[in-house]
Amino acid sequence: MRNPSFWWIIAGMMLLLDWYVFQSLKTVLQPQSERIRTFVFSLHWTLAVLTLLALLLFPYLTYLQQSPFFRNYVFAILVGLFLAKMVASLVFFTDDIRRGVSWLVMRFFSRGAQELESGSLRIPRSVFMSWFGLGLGGTLFGTLLFGFRNKYNYQVKKISLAFANLPANFKGLTIVHISDIHSGSLENHSAVAAGVDMINKQKPDMVLFTGDLVNNKADEMDVLQSIFAKIQAPLGVYSTLGNHDYGDYVAWPSTEAKVANLESLKKVHANMGWRLLMNEHVVLEKGNDKIALLGIENWGAKGRFPKYGRMQDAYPGTETIPFKILMSHDPSHWDAQVRTEYPDISLMLAGHTHGMQFGLENPFFKWSPVQWMYRQWAGLYEEGNQKLYVNRGFGFIGYPGRVGIMPEITVIKLV
């Protein structure tokens, strides 16, 4: 939004992809009547022009940037079209490599050389590969559209975790772990309320939220505070901040405005009855037994994600407590610092990745493009005596849907 030249580059790429797709459309529609070809070609270029206009106007029109409908749906459709055309074009390019190789091979034969000179030697596009590319791109785009219906399809995932150092009085402790609410994206408040009801029906002893309550601004929670305030647990609801909670992705009028936004967000946590842990810990007691719950601000080891978290502030005072749980938004923190410097953190809870809201997952196989950036991106990971659980996110951002990776409510039982 703040870099219009980026959108011009994307628009240029889209135009090239549109031209490439058009060549394949001409190939597969050769047997059809002139009327059908004219209709399909006109539709293709009409959609292409509208897409380009939307992309080029987006960085200049504040209304489009602030419109939830455009930001959530139209923009997602534009991105979906771009990805679909990119995938299709990779197939077309493969066929063009075949055509190029065939042309070179034929060039070395006298008959081919003569035809080249006369201009009669042409290697036609493969109708099969053209259909295959169009079908593959269309399937991807259709899948992304279908995924719109899954954005509130909350899934309860239950897991039992055994720890040798868990004090006896805490065996059987039930924790609900949620993450990445992204309230600015949540439009269907009745669906969100149903999700909160699902959380409470698990009857947890404690609820832990690992950051990204908002997309950018505290006022996104104005109409949702009353819904999330209904989350209750006997031992309390504890929370931390994620990278989106700081307002780092907004052009604020002043530093003071940005600071004020963060302070307002902290009050939102308090108003809902959530204990926000800011590089600190609390000690939970049952009988003569104790466990420590640590919560730090966002600490990311990947890309440009900030390192606001300070384990050196949260950890002191927990040294003698045998079992520790850490809430830290970004799972890359586990490998980068927790495992190496704090080996007595038994369990870390994180979120952040959303599983990219796109992937394949079943009891035998788990895949998402996000794994190319994050080694730990969804579910349970174990190294030695330490465990990490990465929640797939309650909400969504960017793409208003879920494909294969559903929004998650995690129920963890300590045994």
Residue matched to tokens 């090239």:
16
Enter the tokens of residue 95: 């066929």
Per-residue DSSP letter, 240: E
The CB density around residue 44, as the number of other CB atoms within 10 Å, is 14
Strand-pair category, 237-240 with 174-178: unpaired
Last residue of a domain, one of 129, 148, 167: 148
Measure the CA–CA gap between 396 and 402, rounded to whole angstroms: 8
Q: What is the reported pLDDT for 225? A: 98
Tell whether 305 and 174 lie within a shared domain. yes
Strand (E) or helix (H) holding 292:
strand 289-295
Instruction: Give me 330's structure tokens.
Output: 């970004």
33 with 177, same domain: the answer is no
pLDDT along the chain (415 residues), means of 10: 72 92 94 95 94 80 71 83 94 92 74 52 83 95 95 98 98 98 96 98 98 97 98 98 96 96 98 98 97 98 89 98 98 97 98 97 92 96 97 95 97 98
Chain length of the chain? 415
Final residue of a domain: which of 97, 127, 148?
A: 148
Residues 143 and 192 placed together within one structural domain of the fold:
no
Note whether 179 and 327 are same-domain residues: yes
Residue 286 belongs to what H/E stretch?
strand 280-286
Q: Are 225 and 292 in the same domain? A: yes
CA 293 to chain centre: 27
> Is the same domain home to 191 and 125?
no
- 142 and 156 co-located in one domain: no
Both 97 and 49 in one domain: the answer is yes
DSSP code of residue 126 = P
| Total structural domains within the chain | 2
Contact 186, 303 (CB under 8 A): no
Structure tokens at 414: 């300590």
Q: Mark which of 148, 178, 213 sits at the end of a domain.
A: 148
The 10 Å Cβ neighbour count of residue 331 is 29
Residue 165 sits in the same domain as residue 227: yes
pLDDT of residue 287: 94
39 and 125 together in one domain: yes
Domain of 35 in residue numbering reads as 4-148
Going by their DSSP bridges, the two strands 386-390 and 379-383 should be labelled as: antiparallel
The predicted structure's pLDDT at residue 209: 98
Q: What are phi and psi of 283, to 5 degrees?
A: -105, 125
Reported pTM: 0.89
Contact 275, 237 (CB under 8 A): yes
Looking at residue 319, its pLDDT comes to 97
pLDDT at 65 (0 to 100):
66
Strand order of the β-sheet with 280-286 is: 280-286, 289-295, 324-327, 347-350, 386-390, 379-383
The type of residue at 342 is Y
Residues in contact with 328: Cβ distance below 8 Å, sequence separation at least 6, in sequence order: 210, 240, 295, 296, 299, 309, 334, 338, 348, 349, 350
> 203 and 244 share a domain?
yes
Q: Are residues 139 and 205 in the same domain?
A: no
